[in-house]
Structure 1
Amino acid sequence: MATDLESATRTELLRRAREQDVPGRSSMTKEQLLEHLGSSDGAGADGDGAPGEDATVRGDGRRPVHSRVDAFHLLAEARARGEMVLIPRMLTGNDRRVHVRETVREDHETRIATGDLEARAKFDKLAGSVFQFFRGTNLLFYRDLVGEDSRLPTVLALGDVHPGNFGVMPSSDNVPIFSVNDFDDAYYAPFTWDLKRGAVGFMLGAEEKGDLSRKKQRAVARRFVQGYVDGIASYAADGREQTEQLRLDNAPPLIADLISSTLETSRTEWLAGLLDETRRGFRTDEELVPVRSRREEFQGIVDRFIAENEVRVPERAGRMQVKDVAERRGAGTASLGLTRYYVLIAGVQDDGTDDLLLEFKRARRSALAGLVPPSGYEVDKQGDRIRHAQRVHLVDGDVFYGSVDIDGLSFMVRERAPFRDDISLGSLSTGDWKDYAEICGKVLAHTHAMSDESGNIDYDVEPAILDAIGGRELFIDDILRFAEEAADRVRQDHEYFVADHELGAFQNVDVVYR
């Protein structure tokens, strides 16, 4: 059997993996498929060896992984009803440390179980920085909010607000705009969930990237929340959210400078950094691994993506011809280790100077799923949920933003562009941090205001939010007090994580024994 596998093509290995319902098969290299199929050949084999005699065994021969998804869903419903229940942020000491460990393991079960090298790189990255730990442990953060603020208005929340998730990206007209730029965890939730995570994110970012004192961190977070409140009040008064874009010609100086800097590199220069000397395909290095054998396969995927998402293909994209495909490695923080592909699309010029680049990124369950108070506004499929959020949050955003299934797995799709960039947090002065926080607060208000325009909310969002806010100073103070306590909790959780990481806690997953 092993000899047969070694002589098989990747297509044949994928066929066998489909027959055995191997999870994550489409993202595996040929070597990973060989290893997984070889280890599955023996009855009852597990990634870490055969299960013990007392283990509950799944249909595929593996022990079930310990999951608390259902338990937290019930907890969210109970808390939303106003029941007095214990929530994770009330835990202290060893109980909290074990909760952090179990949540991180559960969140990364698939990547740990398959021995994903990028999962190990991610844990190393999280151990080295409190801010990166915060960015990479969204599930941990939202389990602390389980069922919270059920009486407040629901919006299509971004789900992962922090200073690094705002930036410059292409509009439908292929010009740079500034807005929120990461929709992976978007979900219908109380509007305060984005504010709470955002305030914590700006505190921790200002501390680590700006070396600001606690007092200045609070001042930065205050400007973020104040910017949001002012933004919501403005949209309630004039209703201009359906047409507003933040562009070079109307952006505040800090953002105008960022947009200008992204225009300094031409598409030709930008592509030169990604392609080989022939300019017909991707270069090969530790970040890009060409998989030219899959070019025909991805042509079919691209054609299906265009049809399913009803993309209005611009003239600059020609016939949407796939020139090359590469795996993109080492990108992201929370998403580090999730499969990504870069697909090179031929432009209209024969010399390749105007080619397009599409990114296909594996979509996963939102960290907010099952934790928000029940609302009835959910969007089910992962890639569809992300596509829905981008189309709601942005006015005339990236025309290629969408979703497609690849071998049964959901992927989100977007265009990469030479002017896709975010601000250098380490270069911001104290004044810049405050200005940037206020701008991002107003941008977040714009995305929330769109929830009843192109989203699923069936009531006027802005007046409802203003009514829920009530006295502004008290509301802002409530958010800031939450954020200070939460930021301290993140710092303590990071210490627990680092200690456990050094002891090898994230090399295995939690399994269920009977």
Structure 2
Amino acid sequence: MTERTQAKRTQARRTQAKRTQAKPSTAARAGRAASSGGAARAHPYRTVDERVARGRAWRDAAPIEGHAKYEINRRRKDPVRILRAQDDARVKDLVPIRYGRMSASAFAFYRGSAAIMAYDLSSQPWTPGHTQLCGDAHLSNFGVFASPERDLVFDVNDFDETLRGPFEWDVKRLVASFVLASRDRGFKRKEARTAVRTALQAYRAAITEMAQLGTLDVWYTRIDEQMLLDAIAQMGDQQGKVKKKLRKRVTKTATANFDAARRKTSMKAARKLTEVVDGHHQFREDPPLLSRLATEDDRRLVEVGFSDYRATLRQDRRRLLERYDMIDMAQKVVGVGSVGTRAGIILLKGRDDSDPLIMQFKEATSSVLEPYLGASTATQHGERVVEGQCYMQAASDIFLGWVRGEGGRDFYVRQLHDMKGSVDTTTIQPIGLTAYARLCGTTLARAHARGGDAVEIDAYLGTDDSFAEALEEFAQVYADQAEQDYGQLQQAITEGKIQVQTGI
């Protein structure tokens, strides 16, 4: 064998080895091809007519009527096993808190079980054109927060699972959450259906509107406080005086929530979470929910990580953060499904002690969608979360960034409190839930239009109510499935297979 022939064979073996490594699934390869259009350019320009044709062609892969069905996979994994597979990478002492929170109700379980639904949706037909997904678009992952201009805006606000994928996965997760929330509140079946249908009609109307707008007009569209109040004011104009009284009550509740959100700042958080010890401010100890990181090694790791995080910001915002002094840091438990992932807060001081800034760092792990849709193109999961948020939100935190920490763990960083507010699902009434459903449906459509193509989605949906009717049925059926899965979690807890810590 000549040296030249041997070199060629060696190179061929290396090439084959690279192709074999991390070979994506058929679904993932199909998803990437659909997302890129199979063309050499990542984002080829297409005319409106071409985009309409592409959207209509999606019906071949995913007929609209088929969305009404949820056919359980005969080889479906045990839902509890799916959840427990996520525990390996979490802080062991905090995992019982996660299950304690999820065990509170079927709706609480649903909030923490995005991995189960991703697994279930992957076995159903889905549309081949991809948009940026929230990945966990249940109704509690929407809310108000401050724009950089200090106005209140309403938007999707959780992106731990964000990834590019079929738009209807987000829509299905949203509408099923309204059914479960309605059941949790003891609402009538008709009231749940009204909320679901309202969300779907709002999504449909907003997508149609976005499909008619110019490119920049879509990008700049946002839902602000006045638009929220205007939408509430238009509720029930055809239902008479009783409806008007309810509308007035909803308006009063919304206004109170906005006022509460405006007061939710770093100053208020500092008063609640810190105390003065020996003349210095530090976080209060409240284990296991809040535990100071007081060792020199802890401080060094956070300081180094915070410096690396700042490098991901725009230069003006990086310089702004450099005007703050790092005072203290702590581990802080947050969320439901995310409990156990590493998260914490950092106390910074600006001009003086009366000028605090509290930042939150939160671990970003693999999206629950990745096994079915393929990996993100981001360099790490913190960056994936930030990119997804910037795609979908009309306005984002000016300090949103990411960092890779000790041991190769990925994090994203943001302000802990920046005038954030959310709906209280434990007290909401049917009329309020319906109004909120309209808001969430509209918001999700606008987010999908930013991260995908509203023209294609609009063409796929068509001009009739087929999609809304199909997903209205899906929402009920999948809510039934979620309740059955919740029952399996409860059984595992009763049998001692899963440890829980409740009331935290």
TM over 0.5: yes
Distance 1:450 1:82, change over 3 A: closer
- 1:40-83 residue CA offsets vs partner (Å, 9 max, x unmatched): xxxxxxxxxxxxxxxxxxxxxxxxxxxxxx99945777999979
The residue that corresponds to 1:247 in the other structure is 224
- 1:90-113 residue CA offsets vs partner (Å, 9 max, x unmatched): 257xx76x62232122232334xx
Bigger proportion of residues as helix: 2
- 1:13-64 residue CA offsets vs partner (Å, 9 max, x unmatched): xxxxxxxxxxxxxxxxxxxxxxxxxxxxxxxxxxxxxxxxxxxxxxxxxxxx
Query: Matched residue of 1:417: which SS?
Result: coil
The residue that corresponds to 2:338 in the other structure is 335
The residue that corresponds to 2:113 in the other structure is 137
* Structure 1 position 156 matched with structure 2 position 148: no
Distance 1:489 1:445, change over 3 A: same
The residue that corresponds to 1:90 in the other structure is 72
Q: CA deviation at 1:305?
A: 0.9
Preserved contact between residue 167 and residue 421 of structure 1 (Cα < 8 Å): yes
- 1:391-436 residue CA offsets vs partner (Å, 9 max, x unmatched): 1112231011121011111001111225222111222221110000
Aligned-partner Cα distance in 1 for 2:472–2:464? 12
Distance 1:266 1:486, change over 3 A: closer
Preserved contact between residue 204 and residue 487 of structure 1 (Cα < 8 Å): yes
The residue that corresponds to 2:457 in the other structure is 465
Query: Matched residue of 2:316: which SS?
Result: coil
One-letter amino acid of the structure 2 residue matched with residue 410 of structure 1 = D
- 1:436-460 residue CA offsets vs partner (Å, 9 max, x unmatched): 01001111111111114xxxxxxxx
Preserved contact between residue 265 and residue 417 of structure 2 (Cα < 8 Å): no
The residue that corresponds to 1:39 in the other structure is none
Which has the higher relative contact order, 1 or 2, with Cα contacts under 8 A spaced 6 or more apart?
2
One-letter amino acid of the structure 1 residue matched with residue 283 of structure 2 = F
The residue that corresponds to 2:194 in the other structure is 219
One-letter amino acid of the structure 1 residue matched with residue 325 of structure 2 = Q
The residue that corresponds to 2:95 in the other structure is 119
* Structure 1 position 405 matched with structure 2 position 404: yes
One-letter amino acid of the structure 2 residue matched with residue 142 of structure 1 = A
The residue that corresponds to 2:292 in the other structure is 290
Q: CA deviation at 1:380?
A: 5.3
The residue that corresponds to 1:36 in the other structure is none
Query: Matched residue of 1:414: which SS?
Result: strand
Aligned-partner Cα distance in 1 for 2:395–2:27? 38
Distance 1:380 1:140, change over 3 A: farther
- 1:363-385 residue CA offsets vs partner (Å, 9 max, x unmatched): 1111111213x6x9744521111
One-letter amino acid of the structure 2 residue matched with residue 218 of structure 1 = R
Distance 1:212 1:312, change over 3 A: farther
Q: CA RMSD in A?
A: 3.0
One-letter amino acid of the structure 1 residue matched with residue 462 of structure 2 = G
The residue that corresponds to 1:345 in the other structure is 348
Preserved contact between residue 195 and residue 433 of structure 2 (Cα < 8 Å): yes
Preserved contact between residue 119 and residue 337 of structure 1 (Cα < 8 Å): yes
Aligned-partner Cα distance in 2 for 1:267–1:143? 38
Q: CA deviation at 1:241?
A: 2.5
Alignment of 1:260-409 (within 5 A): 260-264=259-263, 267-277=266-276, 278=279, 280-286=281-287, 287-293=289-295, 294-310=298-314, 312-313=316-317, 317=321, 319-329=323-333, 331-348=334-351, 350=352, 352-372=353-373, 378-379=377-378, 381-407=380-406, 408-409=408-409
* Structure 1 position 229 matched with structure 2 position 204: yes
Alignment of 1:176-191 (within 5 A): 176-191=152-167
Query: Matched residue of 1:161: which SS?
Result: coil
One-letter amino acid of the structure 1 residue matched with residue 167 of structure 2 = F
Aligned-partner Cα distance in 1 for 2:388–2:265? 29
Aligned-partner Cα distance in 2 for 1:367–1:179? 22
- Structure 2 stretches lacking a partner, 5+ long: 1-21, 35-59, 63-68, 233-250, 500-504
One-letter amino acid of the structure 2 residue matched with residue 308 of structure 1 = T
Which deviates further from its counterpart, 281-290 or 435-444? 281-290
Aligned-partner Cα distance in 1 for 2:191–2:313? 45
Preserved contact between residue 133 and residue 164 of structure 2 (Cα < 8 Å): yes
Preserved contact between residue 130 and residue 494 of structure 1 (Cα < 8 Å): yes
Preserved contact between residue 179 and residue 193 of structure 2 (Cα < 8 Å): yes
Match of 1:504 among 483, 496, 502: 496
- Structure 1 stretches lacking a partner, 5+ long: 1-69, 453-460, 508-514
One-letter amino acid of the structure 2 residue matched with residue 426 of structure 1 = T
Aligned-partner Cα distance in 2 for 1:474–1:257? 38
Aligned-partner Cα distance in 2 for 1:316–1:71? 43
Query: Matched residue of 1:345: which SS?
Result: strand
Q: CA deviation at 1:237?
A: 2.0
Aligned-partner Cα distance in 2 for 1:465–1:82? 14
* Structure 1 position 450 matched with structure 2 position 450: yes
Preserved contact between residue 327 and residue 341 of structure 1 (Cα < 8 Å): yes
Q: CA deviation at 1:174?
A: 4.3
Aligned-partner Cα distance in 1 for 2:370–2:163? 7
How many pairs were matched up? 416
Preserved contact between residue 310 and residue 318 of structure 2 (Cα < 8 Å): no
Aligned-partner Cα distance in 2 for 1:504–1:192? 37
Preserved contact between residue 167 and residue 448 of structure 2 (Cα < 8 Å): yes
Distance 1:137 1:319, change over 3 A: same
Distance 1:133 1:379, change over 3 A: same
Preserved contact between residue 298 and residue 322 of structure 1 (Cα < 8 Å): no
Aligned-partner Cα distance in 2 for 1:155–1:197? 15
* Structure 1 position 108 matched with structure 2 position 108: no
Q: CA deviation at 1:118?
A: 1.5
Preserved contact between residue 167 and residue 179 of structure 1 (Cα < 8 Å): yes
Query: Matched residue of 1:371: which SS?
Result: helix
Distance 1:72 1:196, change over 3 A: farther
Percent of aligned positions that are identical? 23
Q: CA deviation at 1:301?
A: 1.9
Q: CA deviation at 1:171?
A: 2.1
Aligned-partner Cα distance in 1 for 2:324–2:85? 39
Distance 1:439 1:76, change over 3 A: same
Distance 1:418 1:400, change over 3 A: closer
Distance 1:196 1:176, change over 3 A: same
Preserved contact between residue 170 and residue 417 of structure 1 (Cα < 8 Å): no
The residue that corresponds to 2:432 in the other structure is 432
Aligned-partner Cα distance in 2 for 1:110–1:89? 31
The residue that corresponds to 1:27 in the other structure is none
One-letter amino acid of the structure 1 residue matched with residue 275 of structure 2 = D
Aligned-partner Cα distance in 2 for 1:149–1:471? 21
Aligned-partner Cα distance in 2 for 1:317–1:222? 45
Aligned-partner Cα distance in 1 for 2:256–2:294? 39
